[in-house]
Structure 1
Amino acid sequence: MIYLEFEKPLAEIEGKAEELRAMAKDGSGMDVAKEAEALDRKADAALRDLYRNLTAWQKCLVARHPDRPHCRDYIDALFTEYTPLAGDRGFADDHAVMGGLARFNDRPVMVIGHEKGNDTKTRIAHNFGMARPEGYRKAIRLMDMADRFRLPVITLVDTPGAYPGKGAEERGQSEAIARSTEKCLSIGVPLVSVVIGEGGSGGAVAFATANRVAMLEHSVYSVISPEGCASILWKDAEKMREAAEALRLTAQDLQKLGVVDRIVKEPVGGAQRAPREAIEAVGKAVETMLGELSSKKPETLIRDRRNKFLEMGSKGLAA
């Protein structure tokens, strides 16, 4: 178990419980079952207290937790007959973006998402989920295909942001992001998006300009990271806690502002503690959102999607 900085008290309690169980297994003859159970109850209460009122910065840490389920985990668990499609037909295949044809509840769909990787080797291979221009152009190609064959599109967002490297800029990073956002707005099929971890800047918007947008309870979605915001506004990245509060990047704040449509509840302690439960909750949310859109005509889907983003923020401002 990887513990976050604010989970240290919990780590001590759970660590002591594990020590007691280890002593019992060593055959020392000590009856520690009751003590271990008491510590388990104390740890459970501490966990619930910690996650009942997380700050915006703490939610950022949870959203970045390396053990949270990633795009590949969701695809493996929720989709069948997944056939990955690679390349942008122009430059290369970007491994930070994965996508392809699949079946969701036996219905053919197109699924696209950011993949961060789950260990050092795969994180480097997937560039930590930071897409280059060819990644967004691959997504555009897949959305075009989905539109042509009348397939709903499901996107899974989990990225710190688009890759800011020199090569990416030379190959038209901003143009690729804009084109991907434009494609989201123009396809005549249902488009639903779920922020499963980090929703960073235009790199996330390029996949999440959807008819329905959901966020996991402890995910975040923002124009810039708290560290980046603090560096610009206060010239001090250590003020990231203040920046996180000011950015209104939590799922709860964004639902109030009308930026996201629904919040998907996570298991106690975050998706990293019960990945299967979190994945199933996302699957149910996607099923519900697709059901809300299934009877709408292409022109209605396009009109509603455009109006949704033109009106964005007015709900929170009016309140």
Structure 2
Amino acid sequence: MAGILQKYFPMIRTRREILEEIFEDERLSAVYLGWSEDQRREFLNFCTGNKGVKVLYDSFFKEIMNPENTPERLEEFLSLVLGQSVKILKVIPNDSVRIADECSLVVMDIVIELEDHSIANVEVQKMGYRFPGQRSACYSSDLLLRQYKRVRGERGKGFSYRDIQKVYTIVLYEKSPAEFRDFPCDYIHRFSQSSDTGLEIDLLQEYCFIALDIFTGIVQNKGIRNKLEAWLLFFSTDDPTKIETLLESYPEFKELYEEIYELCRNVEKVMEMFSKELKELDRNTVQYMIDEMQEEIDGMRRELSDKDTVLEERKCTIDTQKEMLDKRDEEIARLKRQLKELQNTSQE
């Protein structure tokens, strides 16, 4: 496998070269030995070209797709996703109190203002269940409110609500939510608000959800059919044979991979980036386990609640039946009295 990528990127270093540099530095060797065996293998695999780099790691993505240094890359990707020409005006720093600061299995998020002053938020989520539709709506509302506050502050008395532009929430799922499985032939879903009468009002909030796991299955069977799929394959695969297919069909991606492998030559920097990713993944794994345990507890509570409901319903049924039996006993007793009175009357 290593030979495939080295054929395109001769700057890729050998395993021996990388390990020699690591163990010549006491600090780097301590970091390396602190990783698990699987983590060491993963690190060496992508540094030596045995496998591709996971581009959606936060550090790597922001190096390669930095909208400040190389805006044309993110512009092209967003243009293909949104179906319109996109130009990035500026990158907006995340607010310290932003909803995104909640604990989440988030890999990366970038907030940018486009040339028409609309705002796009690009998110990468490892686990889709942590980013349901409700959360997407909250993120979108957060973006809209931030834009409102900023524009109103800039315009002052000249402010008009017509100054507020669209906000786009674009989410790439590494593992998409369960409901996406009902659409195995579709990997991208676009949402916007519309009326039931055909009346058109610009309600500003639009969404785009991209299921990379479903895309991977589709591209496996049908190949790369367009430039958007080329970008998604670049983001989602670390398989050298698929990377080669991508480079043969779209050679312009070679420049991006060259930057990645030049970055990998700086062992110290790439180890720091990898350590950061591992730390984030560990934190997310813990949170994921907590969420699973909480779901299990909630499930047990629901089961107990359901059993309580059934017991209560049974108790009500028993009480009703007892009341009916009591009434029937009273009726039988009344009839017996009547019968006895009739028998006494007939004897007289």
Fold conserved (TM > 0.5)? no
Task: Give the number of the structure whose alpha-carbon radius of gyration is greater.
Answer: 2
- RCO higher in 1 or 2 (8 Å CA, sep ≥ 6)? 2
* Superposition TM-score, scaled by structure 1 size: 0.32
More helix per residue: 2
